[in-house]
């Protein structure tokens, strides 16, 4: 079932998008990413619209307030949670409208939704007293359980609205910091200890295991914890290919050996000085697969093509171009991977 929903040889986006108009964004995404469109995040709208704020709309019996540093758990529902829920509802309405306009309703197509993963959420959101949630094991457990239930409901609503099969993406940009214990505390004397890998893996898999939808875990980290992610229950792992060094090659190969799909971030989030073509975008992925010794058909069977990270900071013209490049690259991987050559 997972392989029929989440498959290689397609293009998708990571999550965020420039601008503030959910209808325009949804129409663009559905049009540019026909195989795996996604529910966009529009952080330019402010509080409650970024990846952390959106979590407040998804959690069950937990809600957020704001501080000068970001978000914190609140004792009672407030304006932040209400705003996050209103924005999410508007985004879902816009996606449903775009879906119907494109004639996709009832077509059994696939759509992706994103949410901040439990480790990053615990790392970046504070307790009422100002410490990170990550410093309180009971609060971390409550958070992961609340998130797991909320995402189950969210996926079910998207399925009901669109009649689509759903892929769930968990964003974990703080994963490496959590595992290394490199997050700053409230002062130089108040460090945030590293979370042992077995404990961190249990928290992540608590959320993954509660879902009927296949889960893709994505990290824009400069040093993604690929070995850790290989041991998770995720069906796919996403990362910026430019962040992969020679020392990481074995870990990438082990992901493929473990039958994980790779969501490779191939397209830069800002326009490069030399306009790229799909061929220049495809080359690093082809060379990676060749170097690892896997057959070229791996590109169509096990690779999803995406931008390196979210596109909220990109000019709109480049964001559109990035999606077009992703789609063209995925098509090339599907149609002629054995014939791709580079100078």
Distances (CA, A) of 150 to 50, 53, 137, 200: 17, 14, 20, 20
Distance, in Å, from the CA atom of 284 to the CA atom of 281, rounded to the nearest integer, reads 7
Longest dimension (CA), the chain: 61
**For residue range 143-186, what is the model confidence (pLDDT) as tens digits?**
999 999 999 999 999 999 999 999 999 999 999 999 999 999 88
| Domain ranges within the chain, ordered by starting residue | 2-339
Residues 249-262, mean pLDDT to the nearest whole number: 98
Residues 286-308, mean pLDDT to the nearest whole number: 96
Distance, in Å, from the CA atom of 34 to the CA atom of 55, rounded to the nearest integer, reads 26
- Mean per-residue pLDDT of the chain: 95
pLDDT value of residue 108: 81
pLDDT value of residue 309: 97
- pLDDT band at 56; cut points 50, 70, 90: very high
Q: Given a cut of 70, is residue 319 above it in pLDDT?
A: yes
Rank 104-113, 182-191, 223-232 by mean pLDDT and report only the highest. Answer: 223-232
Strands 70-73 and 64-67, sheet pairing: antiparallel
pLDDT value of residue 188: 67
Q: Given a cut of 80, is residue 330 above it in pLDDT?
A: yes
Q: Given a cut of 60, is residue 1 above it in pLDDT?
A: no
The angle formed by the CA atoms of residues 334, 336 and 341, to the nearest 5 degrees, is: 130
Of 51-55, 106-110, 172-176, 311-315, least confident by mean pLDDT is 106-110
C-beta of residue 172 within 8 angstroms of C-beta of residue 231: no
Architecture of the CATH domain 2-339? Alpha-Beta Barrel (3.20)
pLDDT value of residue 3: 60
Rg (CA), the chain: 19
Angle between helix 22-32 and helix 79-101 axes, rounded to 10 deg: 40
- pLDDT band at 343; cut points 50, 70, 90: low
pLDDT value of residue 339: 76
- Percentage of residues in the chain with pLDDT exceeding 70? 98
pLDDT value of residue 232: 98
Residues 136-142, mean pLDDT to the nearest whole number: 96
Helix (H, G, I), strand (E, B) or coil at 211: coil
Residues 210-217, mean pLDDT to the nearest whole number: 97
- Percentage of residues in the chain with pLDDT exceeding 90? 89
Distance, in Å, from the CA atom of 62 to the CA atom of 238, rounded to the nearest integer, reads 28
Residue found under tokens 């020392």: 247
Residues 188-198, mean pLDDT to the nearest whole number: 87
Residues 108-121, mean pLDDT to the nearest whole number: 96
pLDDT value of residue 306: 98
Helix (H, G, I), strand (E, B) or coil at 332: helix
């Amino acid at each position: 079932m997972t392989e029929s929903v989440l498959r290689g040889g397609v293009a998708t986006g990571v999550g965020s998008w420039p601008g503030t108009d959910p209808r325009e964004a949804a129409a663009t995404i559905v049009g540019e990413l026909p195989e795996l469109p996604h529910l966009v995040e529009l952080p330019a709208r402010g509080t409650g619209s970024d990846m952390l704020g959106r979590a407040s709309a998804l959690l069950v019996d937990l809600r957020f307030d704001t501080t000068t540093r970001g978000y914190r758990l609140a004792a009672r529902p407030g304006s932040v949670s209400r705003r996050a829920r209103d924005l999410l509802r508007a985004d879902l309405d816009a996606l449903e409208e775009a879906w119907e306009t494109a004639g996709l309703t009832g077509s059994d197509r696939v759509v992706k939704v994103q949410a901040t993963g439990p480790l990053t959420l615990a790392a970046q959101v504070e307790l009422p007293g100002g410490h990170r949630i990550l410093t309180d094991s009971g609060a971390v457990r409550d958070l992961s359980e609340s998130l797991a239930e909320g995402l189950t409901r969210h996926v079910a609503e998207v399925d009901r609205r669109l009649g689509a099969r759903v892929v769930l993406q968990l964003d974990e940009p703080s994963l490496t910091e959590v595992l290394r214990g490199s997050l700053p505390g409230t002062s130089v004397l108040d460090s945030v200890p590293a979370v042992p890998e077995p404990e961190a893996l249990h928290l992540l898999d608590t959320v993954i295991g509660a879902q009927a939808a296949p889960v893709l875990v994505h990290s824009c980290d400069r040093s993604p914890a690929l070995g850790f992610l290989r041991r998770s229950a995720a069906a796919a792992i996403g990362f910026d290919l430019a962040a992969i060094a020679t020392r990481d090659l074995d870990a990438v190969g082990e992901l493929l050996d473990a039958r994980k799909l790779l969501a490779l971030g191939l397209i830069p989030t800002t326009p490069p000085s030399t306009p790229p073509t799909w061929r220049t975008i495809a080359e690093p992925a082809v060379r990676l697969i060749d170097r690892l010794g896997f057959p070229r058909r791996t590109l169509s069977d096990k690779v999803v093509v995406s931008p390196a990270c979210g596109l909220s900071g990109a000019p709109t013209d480049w964001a559109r171009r990035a999606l077009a490049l992703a789609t063209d690259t995925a098509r090339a991987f599907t149609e002629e991977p054995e014939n791709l050559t580079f100078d």
